Each structure stands twice: as structure tokens, then as C-alpha cells.
């Protein structure tokens, strides 16, 4: 063999050995390295993946979800037949006074759910579950039952806080950051639908900022297709880490059952109400002292915006935190503390969940420039004594409770300024005021052509019988005239 042929053979052998070594190295790496994420398939690849379950999450959270039983006593007066006025029927049936005309009591009950949020037995649920309740009882998942005290009720958020009468510690659920929730996230709804016992349903988040639900004053809801039915109200909506992202509160249904559209109050609002319960048992929200309106397509075009966004400031009241901070009429508020504002409802939610004593930052668009405005969070002041009076004299206002209007009273009743005059705070059912059509939140501007500036003046007028009553009532910013004969 020639020398050239020998060298050529050796070169080919070395090349072959190097190639085999590279293949062995790649194979070894493939055996030890984790498969890339891009190679993962939706179909389970092994027995362990097939057995994936929500059971660990449910075991962790379910003991913190309770059944809430609320009951109240209702007094009824039996109606006596007019035949008892006839002496002929009395001969056979006796006098009607033998218990037939005495008031009778019956007990109404309601069923819902709740979530234990601290080991001392603090429970958060819906206001409508325990509204007007005389007694509240909670049942745990381990079948223990306890009486509970009502610590706080806040109708404007449809939330309430209870305290279990029993020795803890109780297993509780932790709040999640509901702002981090995204459409498509998997969630579990836990509650007691139809009273059948604790039930778990699974779904996804369909929307995170529903504002046209009409359940509470602060309309900002998590929408989910997890099955929610009557009895789920007050129950837990939890994420895949087992944390509480919302309190189930309402469904959209024409039949009374679940149609796959359920709504939950975000955990941020529930946490805010729970803190208020710890700090004296009264919800005190910050006061801005300004009004805003929705930005529609026409307003967006007038402001040279590429799309409708934010809310437009329409009024700033004297002496308010908004005025002190420099907020101006025609400012466009587009974000609060970095969270986008899309309409007045989302604006109200973002502002109402802030704590008094802190500061918040508005991002506003003013004359084409973005400006950041820090605002101190203060409670609404009671600029005049409310001087609450219950009107009992025969008049169109009989059965109503009235107050002098101030920023504090307006905030409690969910009203906007101006803050002067007399407002109706309560209307007794079946009273003259109720039959006339008066409602809580109505502002009495005038009676018989006389301006009503205080509750004292209104009470004095009602003490004098009138042949004709002419009422000027403001409702939702519009003044209507009601004429009645005395």
C-alpha cells in the first residue's frame, strides 16, 4: 500500500470516530436535560399527568368555607272574616277575639355561604344573605355549628362581616391580589348551592371588570363561568394557588339556575371591608369632592383621543381634597395608582378601596399632557349637623326619616353634590311617604313654595295640616313636582 493511501485511510477513521463521539454526546445530553417547554403537548403523556386534580386545592380551602343560616321573626296579624260582625254567625262560631285577631309570629330563613378569613373566626359573606336577620348560625365543613355575631353590614358593597362564637383556631383562607387575575385563569367556586351541601365547581375567568351588573353601588365584578347557583352567595372564588380572589355574589339567569355567567366581588373590596370591621366596625370611605362622567365616542373625538378612555371631571367642590390637590374641571383621569380607569364605575371602585390616611395618585390628561396629581385621602366632613328626625305627623312625609345634607351624609347615601338641603334617609314600608312614592336619597327642595333648608323647618311644616301639598323633590339630579290633596 502506498503512503498516500495509508494517510487517507487514517483520516477517514479519525473523522468517523469524531462523528460517533458527537452523536454519543448529544444522546447523553438528551437523556439528562429536561424537555423544552415548546415540546409540551396538551394530551397527557403519562399516568401521573392523567391523575392531575384540583383535590389538593379543595382540601386546603374547603374547611374555610362555611354555610350561613340567617333567620328573622316576622309579625303577622291575621285577617278576621267580616262575617264575625254578623250576630247570626257569632252564634255558631263564637267571638273573634279567641286568638284569631292576635298577631302571629313566623320565622323567615335564608341560606348562603361565607368564608373564614382569620383564625379567630372572622367570616365574610354577602349583605343580602343576612339582611334583617335576628339570628345567624354558621356550619363548618366538618359539620360543627356555631352561632355568629354580626360585626359589620355594608349594603353599598353587598358585604358583611361575622364573628363565630367559638374557640379557635379556625382554618382560614388568604386573600389574593385580585388585580393580577387575568381572563382565562382557572378558578374554583366553593359554596352551598340550593342547600345540598358544600359543592365545588370549576371554570375560567370570563372578564375582570364587569361594571354593568347593578348589584352594588361599586360595580366592578369578576365574571366567571364556574357554576354559581342560589346558596353560593358569600362563598369563595379561589385561584390555583388556593387563595381567595373573590366573593361569589350574583348570577345572570332567566331560570334561576346557572347559565355560566356568575359574578364575584373582587378580593380587594372584601379586604377593604374586613379591615373596616377590625378598625371599629364601620366602613369609612375616602372623599374626593368631585364628579366624573363617562367618555363616549363624541367626547373622545372632541378631546382628540384615539379612542374613548378614562373619565372626565365635571365638577370640583370647594374645600374638597380634589380642589386642594389641584384637580380641575375637564381633566381626564386615565389611571389611579397605575391601574387603568375605563368608566365611572371602575373609577369609583379604584378610589373607594383606598384607605383613609394614605395618599393616592391620579394620572390625568390635561391639555394634551399627562400630569400626575397626588391626593390625600380624607373622610367626608359633616359640615352641618345632620339633625336626624323621624316625621310622624300626618303629611306626605309621614313615616320618613330625614337628615340635613352634608358631604358625610351624601357619601353614606351614595349621593353627589351640591351638599345642601334636606335628604330622606329612610322610608318605612306601608307609610304615607312610601305610598306617595318617596325614596331614600330623595332631596326635599321645597314644600308649598317654601324652600326647605333644614330638618327643623320641614318638621314644623308637617305639623300644620294643609288642604294641598306641593312638593319639590330632587332625584338623580332632576327636580320633580308632586301635588297632593290633604
Res. 125: pLDDT tops 80:
yes
Give the per-residue pLDDT at 90.
52
Cis ω for the linkage preceding 172 (within 30 of 0): no
Give the per-residue pLDDT at 75.
60
Least confident of 131-135, 288-292, 389-393, 421-425: 131-135
Look-up of cell digits 375582570: 208
Beta-bridge partner residues of 341: none
Res. 225: pLDDT tops 60:
yes
Concerning whether 233 is annotated as a catalytic residue, the answer is: yes
Q: Calculate mean pLDDT across residues 132-153.
A: 91
Rounded to an integer, what distance in angstroms lies between the CA atom of residue 264 and that of residue 224? 8
Res. 342: pLDDT tops 60:
yes
- pLDDT category of residue 35 using cuts at 50, 70 and 90: very low
Q: Calculate mean pLDDT across residues 53-77.
A: 85
**Active-site residue, selected from the candidate residues 172, 178, 233, 320:** 233
Rounded to an integer, what distance in angstroms lies between the CA atom of residue 373 and that of residue 316? 14
Give the per-residue pLDDT at 332.
95
Res. 26: pLDDT tops 50:
no
- pLDDT category of residue 329 using cuts at 50, 70 and 90: very high
Give the per-residue pLDDT at 134.
87
In the numeric block, which cell numbers belong to residue 315?
Answer: 365638577
- pLDDT category of residue 259 using cuts at 50, 70 and 90: low
Angle, nearest 10°, between helix axes 344-352 and 267-278?
40
Q: Calculate mean pLDDT across residues 106-122.
A: 87
Give the per-residue pLDDT at 25.
46
Q: Calculate mean pLDDT across residues 172-189.
A: 91
Residues 6+ apart with CB under 8 A from 186: 202, 203, 204, 239, 240
Tell me which of 373 and 73 has the higher pLDDT: 373
pLDDT tens, 369-413?
999 999 999 999 999 999 999 999 989 999 999 999 999 999 888
**Active-site residue, selected from the candidate residues 158, 239, 343, 442:** 158
Rounded to an integer, what distance in angstroms lies between the CA atom of residue 434 and that of residue 404? 20
Distances, alpha carbon 55 to alpha carbons 49, 238, 390, in Å: 14, 13, 55
Concerning whether 128 is annotated as a catalytic residue, the answer is: yes
Give the per-residue pLDDT at 346.
87
- pLDDT category of residue 3 using cuts at 50, 70 and 90: very low
Query: C-alpha angle with apex 270: 182 to 242, nearest 5 degrees?
Result: 55
Cis ω for the linkage preceding 418 (within 30 of 0): yes
What distance, in Å, lies between the first and last C-alpha atoms of the chain? 135
Give the per-residue pLDDT at 150.
93
- For residue 345, the surrounding DSSP H or E stretch is helix 344-352
Tell me which of 38 and 334 has the higher pLDDT: 334
Least confident of 290-294, 418-422, 423-427, 440-444: 418-422
Rounded to an integer, what distance in angstroms lies between the CA atom of residue 439 and that of residue 209? 30
Domains within the chain, CATH numbers bracketed: 64-98+105-164 (2.40.10.10), 178-278 (2.40.10.10), 286-379 (2.30.42.10), 389-485 (2.30.42.10)
Res. 165: pLDDT tops 90:
yes
For residue 97, the Cα-to-chain-centroid distance in whole angstroms is 49
Asked if 232 and 192 touch (Cβ cutoff 8 Å), the reply is yes
Least confident of 44-58, 165-179, 282-296, 342-356: 44-58
Tell me which of 295 and 82 has the higher pLDDT: 295
Asked if 207 and 222 touch (Cβ cutoff 8 Å), the reply is yes
Res. 78: pLDDT tops 80:
no
Query: C-alpha angle with apex 285: 336 to 287, nearest 5 degrees?
Result: 70
Is 265 in a helix, a strand, or coil? strand
**Active-site residue, selected from the candidate residues 128, 331, 395, 454:** 128
- Mean model confidence pLDDT for the chain: 82
For residue 468, the Cα-to-chain-centroid distance in whole angstroms is 43
Asked if 149 and 117 touch (Cβ cutoff 8 Å), the reply is no
Asked if 158 and 265 touch (Cβ cutoff 8 Å), the reply is yes
Tell me which of 31 and 486 has the higher pLDDT: 486
Rounded to an integer, what distance in angstroms lies between the CA atom of residue 463 and that of residue 472? 18
Give the per-residue pLDDT at 214.
55
Give the per-residue pLDDT at 126.
92
Give the per-residue pLDDT at 294.
92
Looking at residue 37, the DSSP 8-state letter turns out to be G
Asked if 157 and 192 touch (Cβ cutoff 8 Å), the reply is no
Give the per-residue pLDDT at 426.
93
Q: Which of 119, 239, 244 is nearest to 171 (CA)?
A: 119
- pLDDT category of residue 415 using cuts at 50, 70 and 90: confident
29 conformational bin, left if phi > 0, alpha if psi -120 to 50, beta if neither = alpha
Res. 230: pLDDT tops 60:
yes
Helix/strand/coil percent split, the chain, to 5: 25, 35, 40
Tell me which of 214 and 112 has the higher pLDDT: 112
Amino acid at each position: 500500500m502506498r503512503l498516500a493511501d495509508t494517510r487517507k485511510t487514517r483520516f477517514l477513521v479519525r473523522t468517523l470516530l469524531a462523528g460517533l463521539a458527537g452523536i454519543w454526546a448529544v444522546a447523553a445530553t438528551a437523556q439528562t436535560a429536561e424537555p423544552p417547554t415548546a415540546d409540551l403537548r396538551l394530551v397527557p403523556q403519562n399516568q401521573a399527568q392523567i391523575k392531575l386534580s384540583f383535590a389538593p386545592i379543595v382540601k386546603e380551602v374547603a374547611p374555610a368555607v362555611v354555610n350561613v343560616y340567617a333567620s328573622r321573626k316576622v309579625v303577622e296579624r291575621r285577617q278576621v272574616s267580616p262575617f264575625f260582625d254578623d250576630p247570626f254567625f257569632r252564634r255558631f262560631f263564637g267571638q273573634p277575639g279567641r286568638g284569631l285577631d292576635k298577631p302571629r309570629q313566623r320565622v323567615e330563613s335564608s341560606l348562603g355561604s361565607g368564608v373564614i378569613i382569620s383564625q379567630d373566626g372572622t367570616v365574610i359573606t354577602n349583605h343580602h344573605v343576612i339582611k334583617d336577620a335576628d339570628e345567624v348560625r354558621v356550619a363548618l365543613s366538618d359539620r360543627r355549628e356555631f352561632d355568629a355575631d354580626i360585626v359589620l353590614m355594608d349594603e353599598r358593597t353587598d358585604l358583611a362581616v361575622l364573628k363565630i362564637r367559638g374557640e379557635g383556631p379556625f382554618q382560614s383562607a388568604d386573600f389574593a391580589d385580585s388585580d393580577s387575575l387575568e381572563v382565562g385563569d382557572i378558578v374554583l367556586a366553593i359554596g352551598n348551592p340550593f342547600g345540598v351541601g358544600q359543592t365545588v365547581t370549576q371554570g375560567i375567568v370570563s372578564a375582570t371588570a364587569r361594571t354593568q351588573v347593578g348589584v352594588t353601588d361599586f360595580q366592578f365584578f369578576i365574571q366567571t363561568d364556574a357554576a354559581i347557583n342560589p346558596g353560593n352567595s358569600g362563598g369563595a372564588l379561589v385561584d390555583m394557588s388556593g387563595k381567595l380572589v373573590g366573593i361569589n355574589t350574583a348570577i345572570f339567569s332567566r331560570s334561576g339556575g346557572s347559565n355560566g355567567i356568575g359574578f364575584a366581588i373582587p378580593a380587594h373590596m372584601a379586604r377593604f371591608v374586613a379591615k373596616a370591621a377590625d378598625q371599629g366596625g364601620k366602613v369609612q370611605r375616602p372623599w374626593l369632592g368631585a364628579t366624573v362622567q363617562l367618555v363616549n365616542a363624541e367626547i373622545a373625538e372632541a378631546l382628540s383621543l384615539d379612542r374613548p378612555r378614562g373619565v372626565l371631571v365635571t365638577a370640583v367642590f370647594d374645600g374638597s381634597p380634589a380642589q386642594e390637590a389641584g384637580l380641575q374641571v375637564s381633566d381626564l383621569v386615565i389611571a389611579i395608582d397605575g391601574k387603568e380607569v375605563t368608566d365611572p364605575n371602575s373609577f369609583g371602585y379604584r378610589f373607594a378601596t383606598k384607605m383613609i390616611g394614605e395618599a393616592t395618585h391620579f394620572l390625568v390628561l390635561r391639555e394634551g399632557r399627562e400630569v400626575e396629581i397626588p391626593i390625600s385621602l380624607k373622610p367626608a366632613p359633616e359640615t352641618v349637623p345632620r339633625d336626624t328626625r323621624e316625621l310622624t305627623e300626618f303629611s306626605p312625609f309621614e313615616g320618613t326619616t330625614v337628615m340635613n345634607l352634608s358631604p358625610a351624609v351624601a357619601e353614606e347615601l351614595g349621593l353627589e353634590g351640591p351638599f345642601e338641603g334636606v335628604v330622606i334617609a329612610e322610608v318605612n314600608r306601608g307609610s304615607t311617604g312610601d305610598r306617595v312614592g318617596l325614596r331614600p336619597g330623595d332631596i326635599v327642595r321645597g314644600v308649598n313654595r317654601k324652600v326647605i333648608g333644614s330638618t327643623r323647618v320641614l318638621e314644623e311644616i308637617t305639623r300644620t295640616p294643609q288642604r294641598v301639598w306641593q312638593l319639590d323633590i330632587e332625584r338623580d339630579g332632576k327636580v320633580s313636582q308632586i301635588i297632593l290633596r290633604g
